């Protein structure tokens, strides 16, 4: 318990210090303009790439901008919620697809590429922060639950938080107000390929065999050594983490009397790239910490889940603070609220439909969808046109 409290204190100190330092640096280097300034500088007129002041205000209060139909947004979010409750990570991707394509924001923002680049980048920032709020805020809350369940490996938490906070700070500082929509869509498309690749691997024979082998090994162990019944569950609190060695090159700790070790550089690096990617694309990266640390560092899931949860909290706070408070990105809150409501409804449908569609077929369907979305966004972003319909 004392270690937990000290861990929280350390991580809070890290995040507060990071935000404080950021606030000292940023005001002198702020170049991003406000939405009002960007609108004022955009040419007036009725042609594409211009703003007609007499038109009805739409997204973010911009005259003539698409007026996102909240009913459609809700229905799209029901679909996203269904995906979250059946296939998982792909829900974040489809949330982004909604903001970029379905609601018509992408094409509208793109029309300002030459006439008002600042408005183009401000809308891009708004889209990715909207994604981030929608996915990561929920992950933020769920992480509190994991933190309550799990326990903290202090050196791991600090290393992970250092990498994560750095990534969460650097990406908004470097890219806010600078990434145009085309680049964002291109990188988003590449990310869809990566997630689609993971989904595909899980449907292959190799991916299936790995899981079957693990199930067989755990069953064999259970039958040979265990007779777990009801109240025989393990009380993990009786076998705490004991730090044996703590240095810049190696951390050694024991858990259940078994020794584990990791190089702190690994969580710092992993934390940095995961947080940077999550912050850049606004897709939320919290779910990647645990597989990363259990696979790469071989650490127990129980400990990693609690530790990474805290990192998600810190990273999320810093990232949103950077975008919202220091860079002044405008967010259409009602849209996100309606989307969260849709996700909540969709997630109640998921468990009822999944019994009719086998898990592996669901994944195969989404692999195909990922290939389509990935090709479309990557080519549209980097080549300027989509090689798959609609062109």
Cα separation, 92 vs 146, in Å, equals 20
* Residue 153 touches other proteins, criterion: CB under 8 A: no
b (16+ CB within 10 A) / e for 90-106: bbbbbbbbbbbbbbbbb
C-beta closer to other proteins: residue 61 or 358: 61
For residue 313, give the nearest of 87, 14, 2 by alpha carbon: 14
The least CB distance from residue 229 to other proteins, in Å, is: 11
Q: Where are the alpha helices (DSSP H) in 30-86?
A: 35-41, 70-86
Mention every residue, 6+ apart, whose C-beta is less than 8 A from residue 93. Answer: 191, 192, 195, 283, 370, 373
For other proteins, the binding residues in 93-132 under the rule CB under 8 A are none
Mention every residue, 6+ apart, whose C-beta is less than 8 A from residue 183. Answer: 381, 382
Q: How big is the chain, counted in residues?
A: 391
* Residue 356 touches other proteins, criterion: CB under 8 A: no
C-beta closer to other proteins: residue 71 or 383: 71
Question: Using the rule CB under 8 A, which residue among 118, 191, 305, 362 binds other proteins?
Answer: 305
Q: Binders of other proteins: how many residues, by CB under 8 A?
A: 80
The least CB distance from residue 153 to other proteins, in Å, is: 15
Residue found by looking up tokens 């858990």 in the block: 255
Question: Using the rule CB under 8 A, which residue among 41, 337, 372, 382 binds other proteins?
Answer: 337
The least CB distance from residue 41 to other proteins, in Å, is: 20
Cα separation, 55 vs 77, in Å, equals 28
Mark the segment that binds other proteins (CB under 8 A) among 3-11, 163-171, 182-190, 290-298: 290-298
Cβ atoms of residues 283 and 97 within 8 Å: no
CB atoms within 10 A of CB 321: 19
C-beta closer to other proteins: residue 60 or 185: 60
Cα separation, 126 vs 348, in Å, equals 29
Cα separation, 66 vs 53, in Å, equals 14
Question: Using the rule CB under 8 A, which residue among 41, 190, 236, 266 binds other proteins?
Answer: 236
Mark the segment that binds other proteins (CB under 8 A) among 162-170, 216-224, 272-280, 376-384: 216-224
* Residue 346 touches other proteins, criterion: CB under 8 A: yes
338 class by beta-carbon count within 10 Å (0-12 exposed, 13-18 middle, 19+ buried):
buried
Question: Using the rule CB under 8 A, which residue among 145, 204, 208, 247 binds other proteins?
Answer: 145
Beta-bridge mates of residue 86: none
Mark the segment that binds other proteins (CB under 8 A) among 178-186, 240-248, 331-339, 377-385: 331-339
The helix, strand and coil proportions of the chain, stated in percent and rounded to the nearest 5, come to 70, 5, 25
Mark the segment that binds other proteins (CB under 8 A) among 110-118, 170-178, 217-225, 374-382: 217-225
Question: Using the rule CB under 8 A, which residue among 290, 316, 362, 369 binds other proteins?
Answer: 290
Cβ atoms of residues 97 and 169 within 8 Å: no
C-beta closer to other proteins: residue 57 or 204: 57
Tokens found for residue 326: 């220091």
Cα separation, 116 vs 181, in Å, equals 12
Question: Using the rule CB under 8 A, which residue among 4, 101, 111, 138 binds other proteins?
Answer: 138
C-beta closer to other proteins: residue 217 or 388: 217
Per-residue x/- track, 245-274, other proteins (CB under 8 A):
----------xxxx----------------
For other proteins, the binding residues in 12-71 under the rule CB under 8 A are 20, 23-24, 27-28, 57-61, 67, 70-71
* Residue 341 touches other proteins, criterion: CB under 8 A: yes
Question: Using the rule CB under 8 A, which residue among 218, 242, 265, 357 binds other proteins?
Answer: 218
C-beta closer to other proteins: residue 91 or 186: 91
Mark the segment that binds other proteins (CB under 8 A) among 42-50, 78-86, 100-108, 268-276: 78-86
CA 234 to each of CA 220, 228, 230, 238, 306: distance values in angstroms, whole numbers, following the listed order: 19, 9, 11, 9, 17
Tokens found for residue 360: 């592996």
C-beta closer to other proteins: residue 199 or 373: 199
Question: Using the rule CB under 8 A, which residue among 49, 88, 104, 197 binds other proteins?
Answer: 88
């Amino acid at each position: 318990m004392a270690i937990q409290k000290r861990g929280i204190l350390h991580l809070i100190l890290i995040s507060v210090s990071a935000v404080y330092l950021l606030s000292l640096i940023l005001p002198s280097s702020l170049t991003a303009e406000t939405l009002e300034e960007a609108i004022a500088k955009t040419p007036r007129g009725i042609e594409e790439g211009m703003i007609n002041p007499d038109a009805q205000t739409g997204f973010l209060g911009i005259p003539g901008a698409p007026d996102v139909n909240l009913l459609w947004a809700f229905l799209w979010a029901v679909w996203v919620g269904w995906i979250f409750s059946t296939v998982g990570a792909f829900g974040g991707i489809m949330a982004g697809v909604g903001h970029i394509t379905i609601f018509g924001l992408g094409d509208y923002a793109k029309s300002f590429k030459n006439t008002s680049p600042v408005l183009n980048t401000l809308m891009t920032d708004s889209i990715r922060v909207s994604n981030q709020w929608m996915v990561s805020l929920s992950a933020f809350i769920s992480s509190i639950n994991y933190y309550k369940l799990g326990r903290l490996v202090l050196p791991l938490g600090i290393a992970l938080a250092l990498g994560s906070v750095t990534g969460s700070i650097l990406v908004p500082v470097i890219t806010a107000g600078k990434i145009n929509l085309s680049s964002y869509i291109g990188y988003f498309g590449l990310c869809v390929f990566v997630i689609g690749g993971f989904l595909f691997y899980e449907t292959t024979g190799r991916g299936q065999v790995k899981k079957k082998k693990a199930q067989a090994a755990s069953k064999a162990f259970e039958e040979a050594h265990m007779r777990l019944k009801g109240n025989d569950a393990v009380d993990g609190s009786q076998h705490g983490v004991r730090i044996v060695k703590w240095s810049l090159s190696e951390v050694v700790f024991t858990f259940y009397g078994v020794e584990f070790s990791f190089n702190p550089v690994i969580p710092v690096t992993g934390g940095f790239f995961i947080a940077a990617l999550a912050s850049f694309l606004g897709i939320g990266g919290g779910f990647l910490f645990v597989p990363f640390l259990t696979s790469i560092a071989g650490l127990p899931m129980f400990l990693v889940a609690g530790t990474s949860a805290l990192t998600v909290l810190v990273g999320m706070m810093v990232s949103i603070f950077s975008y919202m408070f220091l860079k002044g990105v405008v967010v259409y809150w009602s849209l996100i609220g309606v989307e969260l409501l849709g996700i909540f409804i969709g997630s109640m449908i998921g468990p009822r439909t999944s019994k009719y569609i086998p898990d592996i077929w669901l994944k195969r369907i989404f692999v195909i969808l990922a290939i389509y979305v990935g090709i479309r966004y990557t080519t549209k972003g980097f080549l300027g046109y989509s090689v798959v319909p609609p062109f």
